[in-house]
Amino acid sequence: MHNLDGRPRSPGHIGFSTLRPPHCFMNTATHFRFSHGDDNPTVKRLLRAVTPVPDDMPCLQVLSMFQENQRMYALPVVDAQQHPVGIVERHAFMEIFIKPYTHEIYGKKPIAEFMNPEPLIVNSHTSIDDISRIIIDAGMQHMVSGFIVTEQGKYAGLANGHDLLDEITQRKQANLFYLAHFDQLTKLPNRVLFMDRLAMTLAEASRTNAQVGLLFIDLDKFKHFNDSMGHAFGDQLLIALAGILARCSREMDTVARLSGDEFTIIVDSISGQKDLDILCWRILDALKLPQQIMGREIFISASIGTAIYPLDDEDANNLMIKADAAMYEAKRNGRNTYRHYAAGMQLYSLDRMSLETDLRLAIERNEFELYYQPQIALDSGQVVGKEALIRWHHPQRGLLTPIHFIEIAEETGLIVAIGQWVISEACRQHQAWLQEGFQPMRISVNISAMQFYQSDFCDMVEHILKETRINPAYLEFELTESMFMQDADAVVRTLHQLSRLGIKLAIDDFGTGYSNLSYLRKFPIDRLKVDQSFIKGIEREPINVEIVKTIVALARSMSLELVAEGVETDVELHWAESSGCTFVQGYRFSQPLPAEKFTRWVREYKYQANQHSLADI
């Protein structure tokens, strides 16, 4: 391993060492943090400093403590030796003392007569995973009243189930951060993290008047290897290339995999083009050596394009486009070489401005279409609902999913008009199915934050309801948790207005947002949709089982329906059902389908459902 000037550098380096997930990935509104270094945390991190009360304290004094601290959900009770003997649950205790004459009758009695004498008590060394199972097995009361933690038999602190769920979810979120920012095959940063790091590097370079090099690397004839040797062989080839790029770059450089066989390297603080020459030749020389892939010895090569900030461009996206153009120039010049960007090279980029213009005309040209994914009731195996998902038939680019255009729609404000079309079209299609003789079933529509916050949103919805004559009880709006974090009063008003119209309300991707459950009690929510990240591969992730079971318990305690999203396999279906989910949705049953195909699928599914059990379908 070497520096750019050819000097050797220390072994053990990885080219993306500056791009690790943070030690803490959390909602700043919560109290607890998750560290990757702590794989088996204990209940100590959940402790709240709640001073216990002696078992002979008069009830009026305890009542005064609850009145002075409205956020105190419970009080631990200890004996003279500081051993916990019970817990006073705020809600139950206050209910007693709001009745007439209770102050006079019970006020001087010791709190021991009114406490719960059988609280949940655990040792401070109890793991988070263990207490999760204990609470789920013991019942929902501990989610609210909490549990007592002891050190050597003596009271150490109080914790509650909501904090426990926050802790579990934050651990999951730390894993989600890794999944969202790192390529799972090569373990290199992915496009998202790479672009973030590039923007930061260029901002720092602008401040210090430094130069930054960018390499765009594409493996030559990768499709040939992938098609002839198989995808597993291709994957191992990409892993080998990732290792070579990391070893050839400096520790301060950023190596990333963008997609397929496309890799990039940010080369920070260069003195000029010569530094990039050295790095490119080092990579090409390393690739001259034979690679051992799955027992075979092969030779590979790559084409490399380079660009320099600020000489070639000062914008991160444009710099990427120019390095990409230089890479294609290297391919046109015989591959297994590199080229620097030069003015006049053909730029290969998705014309964002053109896409925005096309998007503005898409509704007028009737280019959007709704696809529908069925939702299945686990108790009956019947199709009871469907989620409407937008697709764009672009005249040149073909069928586009939301990932290709929703970001532009939100940035330009077009999402409001598109969202209105989606609601209207979903309601129209629902009514069309009824006219065809279908039994009514719920139809779910995703609502964007920008659309939700429009002052005339509820008026627009009410107009569509009247225009299409849909029974609003069969229309469901799916909202994300993040929507509830801004202007809570306005959110409450809008939600209640929608609820009064008869529309059902669901929280989509539940468990991946702010991990704050307090809004569930404030807002008129009907259903939770468990995020598919908790369902995917659930049989290999015991913590996911605990999360799902805890969410199920919470949903049941608040009479909320629960949908498991992203169910793709029989194993995931089994776990979703055994965890307590009532509805499921995912490729295990069907991918999203256009209306005509969805109609046929439902008819065929109903036939199968009458012939077999759900497990056999």
Q: What is the pLDDT of residue 514?
A: 45
- Selection from 425, 331, 414, 426 nearest residue 387 by Cα: 426
d(CA 277, CA 256): 19
Label residue 127 exposed, middle or buried (CB < 10 Å: 0-12, 13-18, 19+). middle
Element (H, E) at 84: strand 84-89
Whether 586 and 565 have beta carbons less than 8 Å apart is answered as yes
Angle (nearest 5°) at CA 169 between 575 and 37: 110
Section 497-520 average pLDDT: 76
Q: How many angstroms separate the first and last alpha carbons of the chain?
A: 55
Most confident of 328-337, 415-424, 484-493: 415-424
Helices (H), 436-518: 449-452, 457-468, 488-500
**Reported CATH class of domain 185-340:** alpha beta
What's the average model confidence in pLDDT over 262-278? 95
- pLDDT confidence of 13, banded at 50, 70, 90? very low
Phi first, then psi, for residue 593 (nearest 5°) are -130, 150
Sign of dihedral through CA atoms 101, 103, 109, 112?
A: positive
Whether residue 308 has pLDDT greater than 90: yes
Indicate the pLDDT class of residue 522, thresholds 50, 70 and 90. Answer: confident
Under the banding of pLDDT at 50, 70 and 90, the label for residue 400 is confident
**Residue 616 reports pLDDT greater than 80:** no
CB 452 within 8 A of CB 471: no
- Give alpha helix (H) positions in 183-230: 191-208, 222-229
Rounded to the nearest 10°, the torsion over CA 527, 533, 536, 539 is -90
pLDDT score at 411: 74
Token look-up 């991707």 returns 509
pLDDT mean over 469-487: 84
Higher pLDDT, 288 or 172: 288
**Higher pLDDT among residues 314 and 481, named by residue:** 314
| Alpha carbons 142 and 135: distance in angstroms, whole number | 6
pLDDT at 575 over 90: no
**Is 536 or 506 the better-scoring residue by pLDDT?**
506
Most confident of 41-55, 533-547, 598-612: 41-55
What is the token pair recorded at 378? 């686990």
Domain boundaries, the chain: 43-172, 185-340, 371-391+411-609
What is the enclosing helix (H) or strand (E) of 33? Answer: none
Q: Identify the band that residue 139 occupies on the pLDDT scale cut at 50, 70 and 90.
A: low
Q: 70-84, 186-200, 333-347, 571-585: lowest mean pLDDT where?
A: 333-347
Q: Helix 161-181 crosses helix 128-138 at what angle (to 10 degrees)?
A: 130
Q: How many residues belong to the chain?
A: 617
The pLDDT value recorded for residue 310 is: 95
Whether omega for the bond prior to residue 310 falls within 30 degrees of 0, making it cis, is yes
**Statement: residue 434 has pLDDT above 90:** yes
Alpha-carbon torsion (219, 224, 228, 232), positive or negative? positive
Rounded to the nearest 5°, which phi and psi values hold at 342?
A: -135, 145
Token pair recorded at residue 65:
């403590």
Residue with more model confidence, 90 or 1 = 90
pLDDT tens digits for 83-97?
Answer: 999 999 888 899 888
Mean pLDDT over residues 530-548, rounded?
77
Question: pLDDT tens, 328-375?
Answer: 888 877 788 999 999 877 665 545 567 788 898 998 899 999 999 999
Mean pLDDT of the chain: 83
pLDDT band at 40 (very low <50, low <70, confident <90, very high): low
Percentage helix, strand, coil, to 5, in the chain? 45, 20, 35
Of the candidates 184, 187, 173, 155, which has an alpha carbon nearest to the alpha carbon of residue 47? 155
pLDDT number for residue 228: 62
Considering the segment(s) 43-172 as one domain, its CATH architecture is Roll (3.10)
Q: What residues form DSSP beta bridges with 394?
A: 398
Q: What is the CATH number of domain 371-391+411-609?
A: 3.20.20.450
